[in-house]
């Protein structure tokens, strides 16, 4: 994107009706279509500015607090890259090195870490029913702290994956689709197959399939979910997908096999996840500290998974897709048969053929997060972006 194109995108953003100022980004379905469009526009503008060696530093100081309650590489580095791009320093809340074990309330911790925080990013995807609730509690605490004059700013939250949604992932996925198919309008009528796939690992969150059906159903696509019996996702999110599809003129339905889902699909997203019921049991066992029970559950679950070892994204299956050329997607890392495990989610040649597009897809995440931060901190984002462009400070001297 050259400078002229960047300017045009900024003016397009200026015309947008955006309601994200001082708001958290927790679930994509809490946001309007205009908000989502603003995120994509801002992400692309920031990416364009950086590519033109124009500094996007809008904060001369400020903290971006991260709180990873589960492992992360991509999202951690994306959050760090996004924060840094805008001028914020990452300060990680490592709960093992804090005093939180003392029985401190979430309300208190949230205020204590937020005094100098412009943004707070949280990953909490292990406990079903807990991750989103935790984010809501933190959001409520910082809102209250701001209202009470405790916090000098309303630090805004970014959901870096919870038990329900994974918006920084699915928004990056969608930006990839928009660019791949040449515009959001071209997504209308496209069929996307979000399907379960076999993996020898256990306990993968449901947030990606849920996030995908909850987001992709808003753009007139035909969204198909497929999984073995028992591997269902949250009914509430399926209801969201159904409603979205109705409103957008698309469709949402569930089928019972990968083959059916892949038939004439334009996009396939085969990925493993744990059955909802297993995740529920696991949450209970984790909370009661039942180690033996957890091991037994893992064993049962892995054995159950094995019944569906043929849920693999093969070359054969790919041939059923539109012209045999559906776009293969994954949030990464994928379990690649013969590479990262004996049998996994995808055959190595399929993965390899789509490796570069997938890496590009992952490469959108820092800008998606930066855009989410940007739009939550600036009341008139187009004006701020114009100011950045006018300032013209080089990122690298």
| Residues between 57 and 96 with contacts to a second copy, criterion CB under 8 A | 57-63, 65, 68, 71-74, 76-78, 80-81, 84-87, 89-91, 93
The token pair at 186 is 């071209």
368 binds a second copy (CB under 8 A): no
The token pair at 240 is 């969201």
Site for a second copy in 8-37 (CB under 8 A): none
Site for a second copy in 274-333 (CB under 8 A): 332-333
Nearest approach in angstroms of CB 122 to a second copy is 15
Q: How many CB atoms lie within 10 A of CB 356?
A: 9
Nearest approach in angstroms of CB 321 to a second copy is 23
Residue closer to a second copy by CB (options 114, 224) is 114
Nearest approach in angstroms of CB 136 to a second copy is 19
386 binds a second copy (CB under 8 A): no
Residue 184 has what DSSP assignment? G
Q: Which residue has the tokens 């190595």?
A: 348
Site for a second copy in 140-199 (CB under 8 A): 145, 148-152
Phi/psi of residue 107, nearest 5 degrees: -55, -45
Q: Find the binder of a second copy among 56, 126, 172, 329 (CB under 8 A).
A: 56
The token pair at 132 is 């989103």
185 Cβ partners below 8 Å, 6+ apart? Answer: none
Residue closer to a second copy by CB (options 62, 214) is 62
201 binds a second copy (CB under 8 A): yes
Report the 3 state secondary structure along 26-51.
CCHHHCCHHHHHHHHHHHHHHHHHHH
Whether the Cβ atoms of residue 375 and residue 20 lie closer than 8 Å to each other: yes
Nearest approach in angstroms of CB 342 to a second copy is 11
Nearest approach in angstroms of CB 116 to a second copy is 3
- What is the C-alpha to C-alpha distance for residues 66 and 74, in angstroms, rounded to an integer? 14
Residue closer to a second copy by CB (options 321, 376) is 376
Q: Find the binder of a second copy among 118, 125, 266, 347 (CB under 8 A).
A: 118
CA–CA–CA angle 301, 304, 309 (5° rounding): 120
Whether the Cβ atoms of residue 275 and residue 201 lie closer than 8 Å to each other: no
């Amino acid at each position: 994107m050259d400078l002229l194109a960047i300017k045009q995108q900024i003016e397009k953003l200026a015309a947008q009706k955006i309601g994200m100022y001082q708001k958290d980004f927790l679930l994509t379905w809490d946001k309007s279509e205009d908000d989502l469009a603003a995120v994509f526009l801002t992400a692309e503008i920031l990416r364009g500015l950086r590519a033109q060696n124009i500094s996007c530093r809008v904060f001369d100081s400020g903290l971006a607090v991260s709180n990873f309650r589960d492992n992360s590489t991509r999202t951690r580095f994306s959050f760090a890259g996004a924060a840094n791009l805008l001028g914020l320093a990452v300060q990680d809340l490592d709960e093992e090195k804090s005093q939180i074990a003392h029985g401190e309330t979430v309300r208190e911790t949230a205020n204590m870490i937020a005094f100098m925080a412009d943004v707070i990013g949280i990953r909490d995807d292990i406990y079903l029913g807990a991750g989103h609730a935790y984010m809501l509690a933190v959001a409520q605490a910082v809102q209250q702290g701001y209202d009470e004059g405790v916090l000098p700013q309303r630090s805004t939250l970014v959901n870096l994956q919870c038990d329900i949604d994974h918006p920084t992932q699915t928004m990056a996925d969608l930006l990839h689709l928009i660019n791949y198919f040449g515009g959001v309008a071209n997504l209308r009528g496209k069929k996307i197959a979000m399907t379960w796939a076999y993996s020898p690992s256990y306990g993968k969150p449901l947030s990606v399939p849920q996030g995908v059906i909850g987001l992709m159903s808003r753009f007139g696509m035909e969204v198909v979910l497929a999984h073995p019996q028992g591997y269902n996702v949250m009914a509430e999110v399926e209801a969201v997908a159904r409603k979205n599809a109705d409103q957008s003129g698309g469709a949402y339905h569930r089928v019972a096999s990968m083959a059916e889902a892949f038939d004439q699909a334009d996009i396939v997203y085969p990925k493993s996840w744990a059955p909802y019921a297993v995740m529920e049991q696991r949450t209970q066992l984790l909370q009661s500290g039942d180690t033996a029970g957890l091991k037994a559950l893992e064993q049962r679950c892995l054995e159950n998974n094995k019944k569906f070892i043929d849920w693999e994204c093969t070359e054969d299956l790919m041939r059923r897709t539109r012209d045999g050329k559906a776009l293969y997607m994954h949030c990464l890392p994928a379990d690649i048969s013969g590479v990262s495990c004996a049998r996994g989610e995808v055959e190595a040649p399929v993965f390899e053929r789509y490796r570069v597009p997938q890496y590009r897809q992952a490469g959108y995440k820092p800008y998606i997060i930066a855009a989410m931060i940007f739009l939550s901190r600036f009341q008139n984002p187009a004006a701020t972006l114009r100011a950045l462009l006018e300032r013209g400070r080089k990122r690298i001297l």
